[in-house]
């Protein structure tokens, strides 16, 4: 890269032939145009690219969610940013096809019990029981967050419709937990929101409740492992069938038991 010291004809930007003009910190530079990246058709490379696309989209969605990003910023996990922490923490629960239900929208947390999910075209409701730990430590105000993850479109798959995320955040200013009773939490949903679910074969719902005790203390929250809501009746068999369809690597040639003479006669 070369620095342009004088620009008699104005500031140059863009590319001309094999050269690219760049502007950084009020200085102009010229460099060779980078070579076009050629994607390999190796099956393993394709799987890795697809897997990174799946996990990076998941990390972007969580990172852009108002109440979730601050939790990952404060989390003591590997990574220099909330996005990188989400990605690294959940990479083990991703595949080249979809995010697994073991992925988390918050790192760790406290367990709810007996969670049930009810969805129709214009409603989303959770029922659950709380432990004594949650009852004693969670204080108002609460925020309930649900992430509905849809994948395996019924129509022909394209990069645009491969996956879909629906995010719901609801402040519970006057919410109260009951220790020995079933708690009900209906979320406010616009009519027709869940019609998109008819376009996908599978749905996973990630759910957490966050408690902000005060502005100076870190929030506490419930464990957010995903719940398989739709299309998982024969999931294990489907995964085995997909594995059988993957191209097999050629076997390595057998190793001879005969001694090899490494010296040559002249």
pLDDT of residue 202: 95
pLDDT of residue 38: 67
Out of 67-71, 90-94, 136-140, 152-156, pick the least confident: 136-140
pLDDT (tens digit per residue) in 196-249 = 999 999 999 999 999 976 545 778 999 998 999 999 988 788 777 666 555 555
Return d(Cα 152, Cα 98) in angstroms, integer.
8
Phi/psi class of residue 219: alpha, beta or left (left: φ > 0; alpha: ψ in -120 to 50)? beta
Residue 103 has pLDDT above 90, yes or no: yes
Q: What is the mean pLDDT of the chain?
A: 83
pLDDT of residue 212: 79
Domain 43-233 has CATH 3.40.190.10: no
The residue extents of the domains of the chain are 7-32, 43-233
* Rounded percentage of the chain residues whose pLDDT exceeds 70: 76
Token pair listed for 171: 């402040």
Q: Where are the alpha helices (DSSP H) in the chain?
A: 43-63, 69-74, 82-90, 132-137, 235-245
pLDDT (tens digit per residue) in 135-149 = 988 888 899 999 999
pTM of the model: 0.76
pLDDT (tens digit per residue) in 149-163 = 999 999 988 888 899
């Amino acid at each position: 890269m070369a620095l342009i010291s004088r620009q008699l004809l104005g500031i140059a930007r863009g590319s001309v032939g094999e050269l690219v003009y760049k502007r950084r910190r009020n200085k102009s530079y010229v460099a060779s145009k980078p070579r076009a990246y050629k994607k390999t058709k190796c099956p393993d490379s394709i799987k890795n690219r697809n897997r990174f696309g799946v996990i990076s989209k998941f990390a972007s969605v969580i990172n852009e969610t108002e109440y979730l990003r601050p939790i990952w910023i404060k989390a003591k996990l590997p990574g220099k940013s909330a996005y990188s922490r989400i990605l690294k923490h959940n990479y083990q629960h991703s595949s080249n096809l979809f995010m697994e239900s073991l992925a988390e929208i918050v790192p760790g947390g406290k367990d709810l019990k007996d969670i049930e999910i009810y969805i129709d075209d214009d409603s989303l409701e959770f029922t659950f029981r709380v432990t004594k730990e949650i009852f004693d430590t969670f204080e108002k105000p609460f925020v309930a967050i649900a992430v509905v993850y849809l994948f395996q479109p019924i129509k022909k798959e394209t990069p645009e419709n491969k996956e879909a995320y629906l995010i719901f955040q609801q402040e519970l200013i006057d919410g109260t937990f009951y220790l020995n009773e079933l708690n009900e939490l209906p979320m406010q949903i616009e009519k027709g929101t869940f019609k998109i679910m008819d376009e996908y074969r599978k749905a996973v719902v990630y759910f957490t409740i966050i408690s902000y005790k005060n502005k100076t203390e870190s929030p506490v929250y419930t464990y957010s492992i995903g719940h398989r809501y739709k299309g998982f009746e024969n999931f294990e068999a489907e995964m085995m069938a997909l594995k059988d369809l993957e191209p097999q690597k050629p076997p390595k040639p057998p190793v001879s038991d005969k001694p090899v003479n490494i010296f040559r006669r002249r």
